[in-house]
């Protein structure tokens, strides 16, 4: 690969990283918007996780999770959070 080809690849990589930073900033701003409901917030949080994973995949030379692995991890985290919320609600309703 020639020096020019390497520079072109790096320029495209830097441009894509810039686009991901812009997208992440926009999603973060959307997370602060109120009145759109829990579903919209959940989608924005997922979008942010996907953007961050893409950034890692492009910016670092280490192995990253597949989309399926990321979704599975996010689903497990959500299940744990839901379980904790249910336990808190149960405890409050029982007056403990």
The predicted structure's pLDDT at residue 79: 92
Q: Where are the domains of the chain?
A: 3-93
Number of helices (H), then strands (E), in the chain: 3, 0
* Separation of alpha carbons 61 and 9, rounded Å: 15
Considering the entire predicted model, what is its pTM? 0.71
Model confidence pLDDT, tens digit, residues 4-51: 999 999 999 999 999 999 999 999 999 998 899 989 998 999 999 999
Across 79-89, average pLDDT:
89
Is residue 69 predicted with pLDDT exceeding 80?
Answer: yes
Structure-block tokens of residue 31: 């997370």
């Amino acid at each position: 690969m020639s020096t020019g080809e390497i520079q072109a690849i790096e320029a495209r990589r830097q441009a894509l990283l810039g686009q991901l930073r812009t997208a992440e900033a926009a999603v973060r701003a959307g997370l602060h918007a109120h009145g759109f409901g829990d579903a919209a917030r959940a989608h924005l949080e997922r979008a942010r996780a996907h953007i961050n994973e893409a950034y890692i995949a492009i910016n670092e030379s280490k192995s990253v999770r597949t989309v399926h692995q990321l979704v599975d991890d996010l689903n497990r985290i959500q299940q744990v959070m839901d379980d904790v919320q249910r336990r808190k609600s149960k405890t409050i309703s029982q007056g403990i």
